[in-house]
Structure 1
Amino acid sequence: MRNESCTFKSLDLNADRTELHDLLKLTGCEVSINNMAQNTQVPFFHYHKENEEVYIVLEGSGFVYADGETIKVEKGSVFRMSPSAKRCIKANENGIRFLCIQCKENSLTQFTYGDGAIDKTIEWKI
């Protein structure tokens, strides 16, 4: 790209974990793509001090531990964890691929239509 307003990179979607913070120079959130092999789990339970997390299951299935409850998740499942929720993820026999988006809780002040602006002066040049 010829300017600094956009950052484009390629990544290996099959890597165990790819964090996009450094790769894309993100300033408002962290995004990671995660691939867990069959019958594996994140090796620790954790929570956050300030950041909520949104998970989107892209492939496979497994279980999420959240504050003492175990919930089955599968392709298409989406869920949010508050910062204080103690959590962990475990893959089923077919593994699991998920996207995790992390940002400071209560920091979103505008979104979609409130933040976007339409510019009708631009046309595609392909």
Structure 2
Amino acid sequence: MVELYEIWGKADFIRGCDFIDRQVIPSHLTVGYHKHSNNEEMYIILEGTGTMTIDSQEVKVKKGDMIKNPPYGEHGLVNDSNDNIDLLIIQMNLE
């Protein structure tokens, strides 16, 4: 089971930030490939390795990597390793 912990939400900021979450993705699970609208999102890999897909292009990710998911883009993260992926997710609203 993927664990998600919201650290701060939209109400915690004056404007711009939708949320800051910490997510734990166990071995061989996925966030799922999905599309966003008018927001930007950054994934910061705290621990682990996996495969990130951004607009149908795959890239391997590891601890320390920071991935920017563009507005109106599609992305997903697969934990294809035997260890957890621990990541920080920051989403900013463009309006």
TM, length-normalised to structure 1: 0.64
Query: Which runs of 5 or more residues in structure 1 are unaligned?
Result: 1-14, 108-126
Larger RCO (CA within 8 A; separation ≥ 6): 2
- Mapped contact 1:67–1:85 kept (Cα < 8 A): yes
Cα RMSD of the aligned pairs, angstroms, is 1.9
Which whole-Å deviations, capped at 9, do the CAs of 1:36-91 have from their partners, x for residues lacking one? 1011112x321211110011100011011111111100000011011211111111
CA drift at 1:93:
1.8
Runs of 4+ in 1 over 3 A off after TM superposition: none
What's 2:3 paired with? 16
What's 2:28 paired with? 39
C-alpha separation in 2, matches of 1:100 and 1:66:
15
What's 2:87 paired with? 98
TM, length-normalised to structure 2: 0.83
Structure 2 residue 74 is the aligned partner of structure 1 residue 86: yes
One-letter code aligned to 1:99: L
Question: Which secondary structure state, in structure 1, belongs to the residue aligned with residue 12 of structure 2?
Answer: coil
Query: Which runs of 5 or more residues in structure 2 are unaligned?
Result: none
What percent of counterpart residues are identical? 27
Count of equivalent residues: 90
Give the structure with the larger strand fraction: 2
What's 1:70 paired with? 58
Work out which of the two has the higher radius of gyration on C-alpha atoms and give 1 or 2.
1
